[in-house]
Amino acid sequence: MKGRWVTDDEITSVPGKLGYFRLLAPLLYRDNHGDFWKTPAGTISNLSSFPWYVRTFLPSTVLVKAPFMHDHFYDKQPIDPHTGKPITRRRSDQLYRDGAIAEGMNERLAKRLYAGLKVGGRLQWRKYRRLDKKMKRAARK
């Protein structure tokens, strides 16, 4: 089974934050295992964090759903329904690739973006992991 988007996207720009968008309704994605992934309304994304010089090489069909899902995974690291453990960075990146393909992106380009995530996503993942640990320590005090 290939992954597919169950719901459509509804977004609006975030006032005062150029290039950032807010999800107005939840997104639901069904992965190739048959598991459902929900990205809640209110999630904020800059739609893939592409630098300006990369955006010039991308097709005009910019992704919306996959970046929102991916940013949510990096930020909140929800439980992976397939493993019962918090989602891993690798799984987050794989779901981004699969979600991009399901959203209509050329498979070859989606795989190139996935390769870029494997390199560039490391810093963002670590940033969110450190913030999460800080918040947990503060909550225990």
Number of Cβ within a 10 Å radius of residue 29: 23
Could you report the per-residue pLDDT of 15-61, keeping only the tens digit for each?
988 778 899 999 999 999 999 999 999 999 888 766 655 655 655 45
Range of the domain at 119: 4-140
Residue 136: pLDDT above 90?
A: no
d(CA 3, CA 101): 8
Number of compact structural domains in the chain: 1
The stretch 74-78 carries a mean pLDDT of 88
The 10 Å Cβ neighbour count of residue 14 is 14
